[in-house]
Amino acid sequence: MNKIVLFSFLIIFNVAAFAQNVENKNDTTQQKSARKEKFFNAISRLSVGGYGEIVYKRNFFSDNINRYSHAQDYKNAPSHGRFDLPHITFMIGYEFGKGWRFSSEIEFEHGGTEAAVELEAEEAGEYETEVERGGEVAFEQFWIEKTFFPALNLRIGHIIVPVGFTNMRHIPTEFFTVERPEGENTILPCTWHETGLSLWGKAKNWRYEFAFLPGLNSELFNRQNWIGYSSKSPFEFKVANTFAGAFRIDNQSVKGLRIGASGYYGHSFNNSVQTTSSLKYKNVKGAVAIGSVDFEYNDHNFIARGYFDYGYLGDSQAISIYNKNLPKSSISSRTNVASDVLISGVEAGYNFFALSNNAKIAKQKFYLFGRYEYFNSMWKTAGNIPKDEWCSRQKIIGGFNYFPVKQVVIKAEYSYSVLKSPYNNEPTLSIGIAYAGFFTK
């Protein structure tokens, strides 16, 4: 069927092109010039770009699912490696004029997803659906925007939630590590995208953004990722029994320095298709509150970045009990969830190629960097909910970023995740190459 549709489209396209060529032969020079000008004007309003990452990792620790529950059994486990395509993204935008514009971004995570129906000759000719590749395909952005003036813009559609450092700086040329910083990428949705609306603007050295969004789904909270998976919907729509708000404010008064603050608040309980009317949960709201501060300094061939995030979940004990009592067929992981979480990270790097007297080398960039990170998805728990100490870790990273051109970066790092005893530490060697940019600019 797909081949038939594609073939039909090609026929229609070629017939239309032929008709256009016939018409063009009878056009005057002035008409041809006007049409050409109109065409290039339309192209100038179009923006096409994207980014992508190719990664190899060698993990010098066990990948067994019992490595935390029976840590001693996996102390001397062999290493394991993996190739991955964490994110491949294509962006298309268009300026309609009079302050109206459109933008979209489709993302393929981990190579996308593939499935096929096969006829099994060895199983009495049964048809079976086979999953041939794991991964995800999703619209990360899809919005229409109206600019009234620089200090006031209205954006409606599928937008990035501007909370935390990584959600606003998730393109691979905007952080040193081979993959996105683990703390925010684990505990918060990342990249966090929701369908809603936002108001944003710039005035002098300030930028602000306020967003109105659907609430999260507490059934998708868990101990390792806190609310990390809850922005995704397994249904064909996003349930919006509850709503939420988010904000971000950035200042760039000092040359090369940006300082930002962001936050989020919304209710999450009973924000699913299957809700409960039990009086036991009558007053449970599942309020999610997040506060974040971050900074980035980029000047004198030196880059430093850092952030601190604090998250709170109201009614976390009731949500933990509720989720664990859900049926196995539910979308929930049915684990405990923390009341409070912490995420922090700082990285710094220097471009040593800037010291070269060779003009060709000086146009390239070579950063040696270091990074420290601490995050705990079960920093505090409510009532008698036990803490899982393996969810707390420090991470020390060292490596380099080499930019042969502005849009391409080659990365390598050695990271060492330090876990509390009796859990085993997790060293990793990672190598990657990534690109980011607009192809039409």
Domain membership of residue 9 (yes or no) is no
For every residue of 280-298, DSSP letters joined together read: GGTT---EEEEEEEEEEEE
> Cα separation of 102 and 260, whole Å?
26
The pLDDT assigned to 287 comes to 98
Domain membership of residue 34 (yes or no) is no
> Cα separation of 406 and 400, whole Å?
15
Domain boundaries, position 182 = 50-113+127-438
The pLDDT assigned to 235 comes to 81
The pLDDT assigned to 18 comes to 45
**Predicted confidence band of residue 129 (pLDDT cuts 50, 70, 90):** low
Please report the sign of the dihedral spanned by the C-alpha atoms of residue 321, residue 323, residue 329, residue 333. negative
Which residues in 161-256 belong to E strands, given as ranges?
A: 193-203, 206-214, 243-251
* Residue 304, C-beta contacts closer than 8 angstroms, at least 6 positions apart: 295, 296, 297, 346, 347, 348, 349
- Rg of the chain taking only CA atoms, in angstroms: 25
Domain membership of residue 38 (yes or no) is no
Please report the sign of the dihedral spanned by the C-alpha atoms of residue 395, residue 389, residue 424, residue 182. negative
Strand partners, 374: 344, 394
Domain membership of residue 40 (yes or no) is no
Per-residue pLDDT for 36 more than 80? no
Number of domains in the chain: 1
- Residue 195: is the preceding peptide bond cis (ω within 30°)? no
Tell me the average pLDDT across 216-241: 92
- Please write the tens of the pLDDT for every residue from 242-253: 999 999 999 999
Domain membership of residue 41 (yes or no) is no
Per-residue pLDDT for 12 more than 60? no
Domain membership of residue 30 (yes or no) is no
Domain membership of residue 361 (yes or no) is yes
Q: Is 263 helix (H, G, I), strand (E, B) or coil?
A: strand
Domain membership of residue 29 (yes or no) is no
Tell me the average pLDDT across 30-43: 75
Per-residue pLDDT for 100 more than 90? yes
Least Cα distance to 112 among 83, 87, 141 occurs for: 87
> Cα separation of 266 and 243, whole Å?
6
Query: Which residue has better confidence, 118 or 10?
Result: 118
**Predicted confidence band of residue 35 (pLDDT cuts 50, 70, 90):** confident
What's the CATH number where 383 sits? Answer: 2.40.160.10
